[in-house]
Every structure is written in C-alpha cells, then in structure tokens.
Amino acid sequence: MSVLTAKTGQAIPETSLGRKLKDRTVLIAVYVAFALAVIPLVSVLYKVISEGVQVISADFLTRSMNGIGGRDAGGGVYHSIVGTLEQVALASAMSIPIAVLTAVYLVEYGQGKRLAKTISFFVDVMTGIPSIVAGLFVLAFWILVLGFEVSGFAGALALGVLMIPTVVRSAEEMLKLVPNELREASYALGVPRWRTVMKVVLPTAFTGIVTGIMLAVARVMGETAPLLLTIWVTKVINFNAFQGAQSSLPTYIWEQASDPNQVAVARAWGAALTLIFIIMVLNIGARLLARRTSIR
Amino acid sequence: MAKRIEVSGLNAYYGGFLAVEDVSMTIEPRSVTAFIGPSGCGKSTFLRTLNRMHEVIPGARVDGKVMLDDQDLYGDKVDPVAVRRVVGMVFQRPNPFPTMSIYDNVAAGLKLNGVKGKSELDGIVETSLKGANLWNEVKDRLPKPGAGLSGGQQQRLCIARAIAVQPQVLLMDEPCSALDPISTLAIEDLIAQLKSQYTIVIVTHNMQQAARVSDRTAFFNIAGTGKPGKLIELDETSKIFTNPTEKATEDYITGRFG
Ligand SMILES: Nc1ncnc2c1ncn2[C@@H]1O[C@H](COP(=O)(O)OP(=O)(O)OP(=O)(O)O)[C@@H](O)[C@H]1O
Ligand SMILES: [Mg+2]
C-alpha cells in the first residue's frame, strides 16, 4: 500500500472538495480576465465600425482633401491610403531583408561569438526606442544634417528603424524552433551550410517568420508620431514617395480628429476604419500565403 | 565503389572534454561493422568523426587520421562537405524534411547540390526508394509530405535519401531504436542487401541485431563517467559473441556489466 492511497483504502481516491473548489475558482478567474480583456477590444471595434461606415463611400476612398477646408463636408482619404501603402512598402522592403538576415546570422552563424552578442544587445536597445525618437532621429540625421527634404521615404526610414528589432526578434525565435536534426540531416547529405539555411531552415521557419513580419507591419502602419516629423502633412495626392510631403492614414486621423468640426471628426473615424480594414486584409493575405507555401 | 576505412590514433573532443581516445581500426568494404558498448562510451561521437559531422557541433574537434582508401579525410585540402557526400549518414530519430514531399525528401541531396534534370531525378528517386524497400508503399503518393509516413517508413525514407546521393560508405546511428519489430526487420533486411554495394557501419544497443546483421563487431567502453571512451576490441562478430579476447567484452555481452 502506498503512502498516498493509505488513507481511504481505495486505489484511486475521489477528488477532494478543496481541489474541486480551487479548480472552479481558477476557471472563473480565467473567464473574468478574458472578458475584461475583450471589453475594450470589442468596444473600440464597435465604435470605429459604427462611426466609420457612415462616412465611408466610394467618394471618400477615391478623393483627396485638395481644396477642402476643415468645415467643408466631402473630401476623402485617397492621398493618405497612397501614402501609407508606399511608406509601409518601402519600410518593409528596407527592413525585412536586413532583419531576417540579422536573425539568420544570430541563430545560424553567430552562436557564442562576440559580434553576435553585440548585435543582440543593440537589437534590444532598438526595441526600447520610443517611436517618436525614431522620427526625431530621421528628422535630425536625414533631413537636417544630410539635407534631404521631407518625403514619404523619410517616413519609411523611421518606420523601418521601428520594424527591424521586432522582426529580428520574432524571426530569431522562429529559427531557433527549427530542430537541429534537420540541419544535421542536410549537412550529412553533403549540402553546404548556406544552402541548408536557404533550402531547409528558412522554409521550415517560413510561416512563423511571416507571422512575425505581419505583426511588425501592422504595428508600424498605425504609427503617427514618427511620420508627423518626417512626411509632414498635405491635402493633395503625391504618388512620389521620394519627393515632397506625403499624407498617411494615421497622420490624417490625427489631423482630422484635432479639428473641432463635426465633419472633420467623422472623416477621422472613416480613416480609422479604412486603416483597420487594410491591416486586416494584409493579415489575411499573409496567412493564406503562409498556409499555401508551408506543409499541407 | 565501397571503400575501406582505416582509422589511426583518433581522439575526439567536445571543447576541453576528451570523449573518445586513441581509436585505431580498419573497417572493411562491402561488409557491415557494428559498434556496441554502454551508453556514453562514445559510439555516436566516433561514428560522426567518420564523415566529419563531429565538427558541426560548436567547440568539437578531432585529431588523428581517417583514411578512406588512400585519402585522409582530415587532410588539409579536404572539404568536409565533399566528405559527407561520399560518407552518408542515417540518424537515430527519423528526420525527414517537414516542408518537403516524399519525392523531394529523396531528391533533396541531389537538388540541393544542383542536380536539376527531371528525368534524371525521377530515375534516382525510384531506384533509391526501391533500394530502401519503400517504393511499393509510397509510389502512389510521392507528392505527399514525407512527415505523413509512419516512423518505420520515415526511417526508410531517410535511408533512401542517404543512398540517393550515391555514397560509398553508409553510417547508421541506432537506426532502429525508434521502430517496432517489423520495421526493424525490414531495415535489417535492407542492410543485408545494401552491404553488397556499400561499406556499412551501424551503432546498436541491440546485441541480437548486431549478431544478425554484422560481419564484424567493435566493442567500446568507458572506465567511468568523465573518462574518455575507448575501443576495446574489434573482431569477427561470431568471435566477439562466442569467444571474445577481452574480459570486459565478455562481461558486457553476457550482461555482467557494471
Ligand atoms: N554535444 C555534446 N557536447 C558535449 N559532450 C557531448 C556531446 N555529445 C556527447 N557528449 C559526451 O560525449 C560522450 C560520448 O557520447 P556519445 O553520444 O558518443 O555516446 P554513445 O556511446 O553514443 O551513447 P548512447 O549509446 O547513449 O547513444 C558522453 O560523455 C557525452 O556526454
Ligand atoms: Mg549514441
């Protein structure tokens, strides 16, 4: 007879009342916490959608604010959609390759090396940079010191600085999850290291890396402060991200919402809904892409 | 094509830790050599020095000589990547590439080394899968993921993958330890067939398996934890199991160990 079952004599004792009670309490606590977390999310979504749909129309999505004052009705977000898409695309094009390659270096080549530790430290420091500081950095360095003009590209630089550390960290975690056995299996076939990384390690981690990138993209898409300092504000459509002020959805929202007129505030809601919608579409698209290319 | 391996004075280290000390042995071509010995005595470590996989682990190094016919694998001008194409390896746990289909798993070694011709690949994939006794089970689902096979099938897939690059030596580290008796038998039969073409080295904890599949058996042992593993003796399998020269070998085989 073991010590544990000695008391009742039964081989498998019944669950004690105390343990049932604890189980219940924890379960209820978990539900309450979940509800509390969902309340703000649902109420924000509800407010944005209910206010946004009143404004959104084909006109709203295809017009700029050219010639429209704060008090005037009409106008739209077309110039801001163009700006946001261009800025985020440029930021991604610059930062994703750098970030993924950095993660590959850290996990595949740098183990234990001094350089890897240094890079890792700076990535941590970058993670802690407040977004407005990234904007100030680009303003001070790119615009004031190097003398380039305010442009969508300058905004993309600031967003890129913000994206790099998050993408490095998430890609690093995903690469670490790839079992070492797969690398060894590849080496044992006489495949060189860099091809192993390209053809075995990266494809295995692909879905996870894409998810991490999407989170980073979604985050910078809503960044306002660094853009205010780097892209300026404009009411007109500017397709050229390399020249002159450009608009963007977050700065448009900021601009319209700080205007005390009803019509302007309504436009801010419309832009907010547009932004959320774009992020959602990108997210779903990336998920489909990741699912198609990974293991069936 | 099979080649003779001659090892002399080989030491293997993990950082400052000497894991295998002063091993010298000859491994005959077209035969199966089994490595047996207690856990931690350095069988896997030694096996991995034979295709330069040991040095993949950070801090690990080897000194001594491993001659493959007349070429020193640890010679100055030798590329470890090229060594691994000649000396293939099958691991203890089946490890097919999870993102690849059955076909691509078998073709991986060739594709990743730049072989592109579709008909050439098709041919090699078929012969390798037949060689690994897996063709009949998978011929209708080659585009399906390799990870969807059973454990025993996965291990045979890994063997097919290893022989697809047409190595001259095949190293197997406990290839059956994760498998059921039927899959184990399938792989033992396969080893018996493969030895007509390859030099095969197999690590096993299963004495009956060593006795069944191998021509020669090497017994490794350690004096105690933290001590290096050593080769005690290498002889005809029948001799090792009936009348070994060393007392330690006899104790291990008869289960009077430790
Ligand atoms: N990656 C490693 N880093 C440091 N030490 C290691 C490493 N791998 C193995 N060792 C050590 O080297 C010694 C030999 O290990 P090895 O794996 O070769 O034993 P083995 O004979 O294959 O054992 P088993 O039968 O359990 O597989 C052990 O003391 C082990 O702790
Ligand atoms: Mg082992």
Query: Computed from CA positions of residues B238, B243, B244, B245, in that sequence, does the dihedral angle turn out positive or negative?
Result: negative
Report how many Cβ contacts below 8 Å link chain A to chain B. Answer: 78
CA of residue B171 to ligand 2 center, whole Å: 12
- ipTM higher than the 0.90 cut: yes
Query: CA-CA distances (angstroms) from residue B93 to A261, B152, B158, B209?
Result: 68, 10, 10, 17
Closest-CA distance, B220 to chain A, in angstroms, reads 24
Q: What is the pLDDT of residues A160-205, one digit of tens each?
A: 999 999 999 999 999 999 999 999 999 999 999 999 999 999 999 9
Q: Is the CB of B43 under 6 A from ligand 1?
A: yes
Residue among A97, A100, A295 at smallest CA distance from A202: A100
With a 6 Å cutoff on the Cβ, whether B230 touches ligand 1 is no
Distance B21 CA to ligand 2 centre (A): 16
Which residue bears the tokens 């579409």? A281
Q: Is pTM beyond 0.95 here?
A: no
Residue with tokens 């750098």: A98
The answer, yes or no, to whether residue B104 has pLDDT greater than 90, is yes
Pick the residue whose CA is nearest to atom 14 on ligand 1.
Answer: B42
Q: Is B77 helix (H, G, I), strand (E, B) or coil?
A: coil
Taking only the tens place, the pLDDT of each residue in A13-51 is: 888 888 999 999 999 999 999 999 999 999 999 999 999
Of the candidates B32, B45, B29, B30, the one whose C-alpha atom is nearest the C-alpha of residue B228 is: B45
pLDDT of A2 over the 70 cut: no
How many A from CA of B236 to the centre of ligand 1?
26
- Those residues with Cβ within 8 angstroms of residue B108's Cβ, 6 or more apart along the chain or in another chain: A186, A189, A191, A199, B97, B100, B161, B164
* CA distance between the termini of chain B: 42
- Residues in chain B within 8 Å Cβ distance of A192: 81
Give the whole-angstrom CA distance, residue A77 versus residue A83.
10
In sequence order, what are the beta bridge partners of A201?
none
A71: confidence class by pLDDT, cuts 50, 70, 90: confident
Domain boundaries, chain B: 5-97+166-253
SS3 B140: coil
Query: With contact defined as beta carbons under 8 Å apart, do B160 and B129 qualify?
Result: yes
Answer yes or no: do A182 and B145 touch at CB < 8 A: no
Give residues 102 to 141 of A whose Cβ lies within 8 Å of B: 111-112
Fold of B5-97+166-253: Rossmann fold (3.40.50)
* CA terminus-to-terminus distance, chain A: 51
Nearest of A124, A111, A194, A108 to residue A164 by alpha carbon: A124
Q: How many other β-carbons are positioned within 10 Å of the β-carbon of residue B193?
A: 12
* Interchain CB contact of A251 with B (< 8 Å): no
Q: Measure B32 CA to nearest chain A CA, in Å.
A: 20
Q: What are phi and psi of B88, to 5 degrees?
A: -85, 170
Ligand 1 in reach of B19 Cβ (< 6 A): yes
Neighbours of A161 (CB within 10 A): 22
Please return the burial class of A62, using the count of CB atoms within 10 Å of its CB with bins 0-12, 13-18 and 19+.
exposed
Q: Does the Cβ of B49 fall within 6 Å of ligand 1?
A: no
